[in-house]
Each structure stands twice: as structure tokens, then as C-alpha cells.
Amino acid sequence: MGAPREVWVQVARVPEVRAAGVYVVQAGRYTIALFAEGDRIYAVDNRCPHMGFPLHRGTLRDGLLTCHWHHARFDLQTGGTFDLWADDLTVFPVEIRGDEVWVNLSPSGDARERARVRLEDGLKHGLPLVLAKTVLRLLELGEDPVEIFRIGLNFGVRHRRDGWGPGLTILTAMMNLLSDLDPSDRPRALYHGLAAVATDAEDSPPRLPVRPLPGAADPDRLHRWFQQFVEVRDAEGAERCLASAIAAGLPPAIIAEMIFAAATDHRYLAVGHALDFANKAFEALEIAGWADADLVLTSLVPVLVRGERMEESVAWRHPVDLVGLLERAFEALPALRPSPEGRWAGPEALIPVLLGEDPEAIVDALLGALREGAPWAEVAGTVALAAALRIVHFSLHNEHGDWDTALHTFSFAHAVHQAMRRFPSPALLRGVFDAAMSVYLDRFLNVPSVPLPEPRAPAGMPNRVTATLAALLDRQGAVQEAASVVAGCLQAGGEASPVRAALGHALLREDRDFHTIQMVEAAFRESAIWRGTRWEPFLLIAAARYLAAHAPTRRAQEQIYRIAERLHRGERLYEEA
Ligand code: FES
């Protein structure tokens, strides 16, 4: 294929441009500003790349064009900006033919590559408007969302000294949500994910990864040492073990076993965040591929090493020594074998015990189910379901901050469940028991227990569910009404996908809140696993209640996104400013 044909058009006469100093013409789909300076004429896109202000109203001095709206400065010759939040300006090659001015309208260079570079600028300099504009541009150019995710992941694991954090968790959660969202919300989800990664990296020194050991080390020893080094909170030693195990090409299941064992050596480590982050890191690798596994997985070491251990907390020791109870139960775990096809009584019998008031009965019921041959992932999923039911019945008399207590348990239980589906192990079974104890500790959040919502299905459902939920969530405290609408849509086997899309839309228009995002994503994924059962609606009701309890926010991030969207559509913003 030959080079693309150049499109030269005559746009003006030299004398009229020189006489005017700056002269605006329409050429093809562009409005072009022609600037005469010295013996040269320059042609640029008249829309400021920042927010579209007409640049012919700017000031040109010594080749430097300054936009009058937010004062971004551009080199007129190359279009390059000195204010990175504004983006580079599109310039068009000019030829003077006699007294005619001709400009070349053909696109120059690789637009997709330019947009990728710009995405990295947005991440490096923490520029949400640039991120939103670039996501829209890349998707328009046919970029795969996975590639956009990969750029964010790669940036995030290199640029935050404290390693994996909320930003990368949000980015991965957003990728997981994509298929549930209305297509028009998918760029919005990527924008939020990338902006969260950029925020996490802001003001942080970069991570300096530790090199693997110089030769081939014994894999069993690496495994043991890793756990020992995490135990004594030695981040450097632990990271070198993990990097060496990955460099040695150990299979993902073995690497997962190392990480999840370290994450469950102590009870409910970092209020569940350590295991939650670890699970998300493996999900990220599932999306992006294993190529950067060393950088991604070693970024988990800080949270594994520093996390608070619940052995040190009063609630896990008094008045019942839950830690002692669990340690005795864990002695039985090595004798258990995973049985993916095992038969057991199912969640119906286990759920009431999990939501009960007797921790010994909970531990016995879990051990009983496992000995019966219950599939480990199903037991983990049942504990996650019990954690979601705490949110379904969460009393509005609790302190507002208690929503997070219930959320932490659910998010952790969900992470254990997802990890167990991929990499079943006795170590992860300890996580199942931890999650069950956290469900037990949260029992006072259901006093009094809020009854299930009365199903309410306003006219036009499910088509109008997005608008109905959006209107409800415009005001504070619509917790029960939102739950009723979701219950109404799902009653008698109603289709869940419009409800998911509506909840996803409601989530994305609010300012990013780490916990609300975790809640909605976990509820969507757990509900997909319980699809077609009587449990499916409970998970979406939990999501609706939590979301409604945290809405509305200022929606400042949505405003940025809408500006980007309007610019992308070619709308004029400045006229309304
Ligand atoms: S600097 Fe030009 S529109 Fe903002």
C-alpha cells in the first residue's frame, strides 16, 4: 500500500492574510486560523486543543501563540504546547504558490500512537481531562480497551512506591464492569480507572523493583522464605523471593499459592485489603497477559508486609478469642482435598448459621460442609453471599461509616471467592474462615434488621430503570426506594442486565469512591455466579442500597468527562462560558 495521497487546498490569498494578521477560513472539516508572522504564514486548527476556544482570538508574540481562555501557550511552528494539560495543537503544512496560500489537510503521523503517548502524559502529569479526551479518541480510532488498560496497569505498577493500591484496584474493577455497562458508559469507566491510577501516583516517588536472584534458586525454599520474610515485615527480602520465583518461570498456580499463603498467614490482613489487592492483581494479569507478572505481583509486597494483623485487634480476641478458635480449626485443613464436584446441602442450610450469633457453630458448619465434600469455591461463595446479606439488611440507624465495615467484609469475602475459583488451596480456605468471622463480627449492623424491600416497578420498566434510579439518586438517602426499584425489576425472574447497566451508570456519574466501586463490582460478579437462583437479586439490592447511601456526590469528575465528551463531538464550549 502506497503513502496516503496528500490533500492540498487553496485557502486564501497572501495579501489578505498579511493585511489581517490573523485570518480564519473553513477548509474541509476544519476551521483554520492563518497567522502571518514575518515573511511566513502558519496554519493551525482554530480550536484550542484544551477546551476549544477559538485561537484567532489569542495573542501571537515571537512565534508563541497564547490562548485567551486558560492561557495555554503553543509554538506556532510545531504546534507543541508548553502547558501539558492543554495538548499539542494541530498544525497544517503551508505552501505559498504565487500569491495563494495552500494548506495540506492530510493527517500526519500515526494518530493512534500519538494518542497512546498522550494517554501516558495524562497519567504522568495527573490530567483527568486529557485522560478522558484520549480514551474517547483511542476508542474512536479502534483501540482495544485491553490495550488502554495495559497502559494504565503498566504505569501504575511502576509509578507508586507503595505498590498496588486503590487506583489499580479501581482500574481492574472498571475493566471487569465493562461488559455490564451500556456501551456509552464504557469510555467513562476507563476514564475513571485511569484517573484513579494517576491520582495514586501523584506526588509519589516511582517504584524501584528489586532484581531476581542471579541464578536458579530452589523453588520450595523461595516459597518458604517468602512467607518468612513477609512474616517479619522484610519487604526487600520478600520482593526478591517473589521476583526470583516469577523469573524462574514457576507456574501461576504456584506463585498464587505463595502470595495467598502470605496473605492468609495472619487474620483478615489489612482489613481484607491485602487479599483483595492480590486477587485484583491476578485478575489484571488475566486481562493483560502474564508478560508483566513480575512488576504486577511484586507490587503487592508492601501491603502484605505492612498490613494490620487482626491478631492484634481487640474485636478478634475479646470477648471471644476468634483467633484461637480459627487456629484450632485450621489444623483440620491440610487433610481436606478440593472436590469441585462434591455434594453438599448448599447455601440454604449454611447461610442462617453464618448470619447467627455463635462463632463456634459457624466454624463447625464450615468444617462440616468441607468434610461433606462441598466444593471449596461454593463454600467461599456462600460466605460472600452472607456478607452481602449484611448489606441488604443494614440498619439505617447505624453510623454512616459502618457501611464501610460491612463493605470491607463483603469485598474481602468476594476476593477470597474469586481467588478460590482460580487457585483453590488450603491457604485460601483460611480466608473463607476469616471472612465468616468478619460476617459474625458485623452482626450488630443488622440490629434492627431492615426487611427486604417492597418490590416497586414503575411504569416502563425495565427500559426506564436507568432514568428512574438516576432520579432517585439525585437526592440523599434514597436507600430503600432504590432497593425497591431494583427488587421490582427483578421480581418473578426479571432480566438483570438492564439493572446492572442502570446501577453501573449511576456509579460512574458520581465522584470516584473506592468502596462504592468495590461494592458494585463485587455485587455484579457475585450475582452473575448466582444467576437464575433466588440469591441473584439480593446482590443487586445490596449494590443499590450501598450506592444510594453514598449518592449524590459533587459529580465534579463527571463534569470533566462531559467536557471531554462534548469536545470530542466537536461541540463549542466557550460560547456558554
Ligand atoms: S487554554 Fe485554550 S481553551 Fe483552555
Q: What ranges do the domains of the chain cover?
A: 8-104, 111-201, 219-446, 465-558
**Binding site membership of 67 for ligand 1 (Cβ less than 6 Å):** yes
With pLDDT > 70 as the criterion, what percentage of the chain qualifies? 98
Average pLDDT of the chain? Answer: 95
Task: State the pTM of this model.
Answer: 0.95
pLDDT at 397: 95
Q: Is the pLDDT of residue 120 over 60?
A: yes
Pairing state between β 73-75 and 94-97: unpaired
Name which of 492, 518, 73 is nearest 277 in CA terms.
Answer: 518
- CB 89 less than 6 A from any atom of ligand 1: no
Q: Is the CB of 191 under 6 A from ligand 1?
A: no
- Round to whole Å and give the CA distance between 524 and 514: 16
pLDDT band with cut points at 50, 70 and 90 for residue 409: very high
CATH fold of the domain at 111-201: Zinc Finger, Delta Prime; domain 3 (1.20.272)
Please report the pLDDT score of residue 215 as a whole number: 87
Q: What is the mean pLDDT of residues 353-369?
A: 97
In the predicted structure, residue 577 carries a pLDDT above the cut 50: no
Residue with the bigger pLDDT between 409 and 495: it is 409
Q: Can you tell me the mean pLDDT for 432-436?
A: 98
pLDDT digits (tens, 9 = 90+) for 211-224: 999 988 899 999 99
Q: Is the CB of 47 under 6 A from ligand 1?
A: no
Over pLDDT 90: what percentage of the chain? Answer: 91
d(CA 476, CA 489): 22
pLDDT given for residue 575 in this prediction: 62
Helical pair 186-201 and 145-158, crossing angle rounded to 10 deg: 10
Confidence of residue 167 (pLDDT cuts 50, 70, 90): very high
Q: What are phi and psi of 285, to 5 degrees?
A: -70, -30
DSSP annotation of 80 reads -
Classified by CATH at the fold level, domain 8-104 comes out as Rieske Iron-sulfur Protein (2.102.10)
pLDDT of residue 1: 47
Residue nearest to atom 3 of ligand 1 (CA): 51
- Going by CA atoms, what residue is nearest to atom 1 of ligand 1? 70
pLDDT for the residue numbered 136:
98
Distance CA 185, CA 177 (A): 10
Is residue 3 pLDDT above 70, yes or no? no
Is residue 233 in contact with ligand 1, taking CB distance under 6 Å?
A: no
pLDDT at 26 > cutoff 80: yes
Is there an atom of ligand 1 within 6 Å of 50 CB? yes
pLDDT over threshold 60, residue 18: yes
Nearest ligand 1 atom, CA 574: 3
CA dihedral 432, 435, 436, 439 (to 10 degrees): -160
The rounded Å distance from CA 69 to ligand 1 centre is 5
C-alpha to C-alpha distance for 405 and 245, rounded to whole angstroms: 35
Q: What is the pLDDT of residues 263-295, one digit of tens each?
A: 999 999 999 999 999 999 999 999 999 999 999
Q: How far is the CA of 54 from the centre of ligand 1 (A)?
A: 9
Is the predicted pLDDT of residue 460 greater than 80, yes or no? no
Per-residue pLDDT, 5: 78
